[in-house]
Structure 1
């Protein structure tokens, strides 16, 4: 059991959890910054979490929900206020409604996750700060301390099971809901390099090509939030098929960390998707996470059946060769 103590202090209005793990700080840090890994232990046993957004940067945001054994969903969010890599991160932690908007029925807290090396691995200290004694007592009475103990009891096995998984360099798609898919790829390159490769039209025309034989003939990028982009591809002489493209609007951006766009296939009346991309530095490179929200499950399944992830993998391999 990694948890060594849970301390409730009404004078300082804090609930502090101490835990020790037999892995380096960088490995433990990655487990919290990678949503694929965090989902395997964030939440009590039997209440798996699903993260639909997980920025991991100052000014960023995480949105998640836990699913009970009966199928009920309990939503929450983190607003990231400060991040010092491999040292600590601080978030405002709150409950949310199903649409992601914060719930005012329950208190929000300020939570600090601190990581320190030890002779045998690393130490994690999670300090939750409350505004009042009554709010502290309210959340403790709801089982907050037991929930933290239960969640942390799963980390140790996750760290063992995912030792190699975290370093897998291949594109994978994970169904998050009836309308959402998360496509993930760990790319050998710094976050700055990977971000630049997505924001330099000349570079994009060299790697964002899908299978061999295609050419990106048009790449117009937005210069700011609210502007539009346009991509167009043409097949080579030996490729069957016809040209196609996408267009959309940049909705939001946190430089080198997160951005969201609409995306619609040019010349079709399909409803646009919402594409949210997160760039997360890890010990193996940069984790690229793309969450796509489709209008319905039928559209989601139709797009996945086209071999989308295979085309993305070909592009990411090409990107790595450039980096």
Structure 2
């Protein structure tokens, strides 16, 4: 986690974020000057950003929106005020409508990003100035502090590169908050192939099996938002265990980038868990990131305690081997 401090100064109407990176200034600067890299960490995990316009010069602007798990969008704009390459840049950050026009009654922040070389790499200090205490409090109430920490927690993989950052790490689980967990797995295959493996029942039956000795008995997949997919597993003869299944309602689909579902065990009145899967491709590697949202910490711990992550790694390893031995096109 690169964020080392977040300072709220109500007297001077500022919010300051300090982050340290084990990379040179030139590398960190490139991540902030390239919209394709920036959008991979600008929004928090369940609200990733998409930059639709990028004019990186004084007087230019950038348009972006946050993408919610049900397809909702929140629009914003940067107006570039000052740019000193590999030293700093300053923007006016404002909420807008879908056309980029300022949203009435919403605060405007002047943000200065300053980059400084350190013995360990780079320190970036972001200072946001507000016109009033009310504007600062509005942004704080919107969850900007926690959202910033969650968003910046994604930047290390961008700076290092997917191939290097995830090499040999298998399936990784990170507890983000009491209710949010992030599971990541990198596979050396194009995103289009991984997308097919997530949506094609013929392929799903070949890898989404968990431990050896289990078979998938039900595999009904929908690509229609509002409808549900159904999955079921049963132990092979001689293997201990009870059959079980999941029903996943499709909340949002953006092919071939993102699938959001709300799932629960079949026939159980238990909790619903939101699974937000995104696919990111870089240098021949696709990163599968699943952000799981639980209703509370107790449910989170109960489900994680079932060995879910180990089962996911067994399935992903099987998929990886399948793609190596029988390439999917």
Indicate the TM-score class for this superposition, using the shorter chain for normalisation.
0.5 to 0.7
* Matching residue of 2:272: 272
Alignment map for 1:222-261 (pairs within 5 Å): 222-261=222-261
TM-score by length of 2: 0.61
Aligned-partner SS, 2:251: strand
Structure 2 residue 77 is the aligned partner of structure 1 residue 109: yes
Aligned-partner SS, 1:264: strand
* Matching residue of 2:109: 139
**Residues 63 and 76 in structure 2, CA contact (< 8 A), matched pair in contact too:** no
* Matching residue of 1:213: 213
* Matching residue of 2:26: 21
CA distance in 1, matches of 2:29, 2:167: 15
CA distance in 1, matches of 2:108, 2:248: 45
Question: How far apart are residue 174 of structure 1 and its match?
Answer: 0.8
Question: How far apart are residue 169 of structure 1 and its match?
Answer: 4.3
Structure 2 residue 165 is the aligned partner of structure 1 residue 195: no
Aligned-partner SS, 2:211: coil
Question: How far apart are residue 24 of structure 1 and its match?
Answer: 12
Are residues 82 and 311 of structure 1, via their aligned partners in 2, closer, same or farther at CA, if it must alter by over 3 Å? Answer: farther
**Residues 109 and 128 in structure 1, CA contact (< 8 A), matched pair in contact too:** no
* Matching residue of 1:289: 289
CA distance in 2, matches of 1:52, 1:161: 17
Task: Give 4+ residue runs of structure 1 displaced > 4 Å after superposition.
Answer: 22-26, 28-34, 122-132, 157-163
Q: Which runs of 5+ in 2 are unaligned?
A: 1-23, 55-61, 94-100, 117-121, 125-151, 324-329
Aligned-partner SS, 2:321: helix
Q: How many residues align?
A: 239
Structure 2 residue 149 is the aligned partner of structure 1 residue 149: no
CA distance in 1, matches of 2:262, 2:156: 34
* Residues 168-213 of structure 1: CA deviation (Å, up to 9, x unaligned): 4410111111111111111111000000001100100000001111
Question: How far apart are residue 51 of structure 1 and its match?
Answer: 2.4
Question: How far apart are residue 109 of structure 1 and its match?
Answer: 1.7
Q: Which runs of 5+ in 1 are unaligned?
A: 1-18, 43-49, 54-60, 63-77, 84-89, 113-121
CA distance in 1, matches of 2:258, 2:197: 14
Higher mean displacement: 122-131 or 253-262: 122-131
* Residues 135-177 of structure 1: CA deviation (Å, up to 9, x unaligned): 9x9623xxx11xx21697359x958994643434410111111
**Residues 93 and 111 in structure 1, CA contact (< 8 A), matched pair in contact too:** no
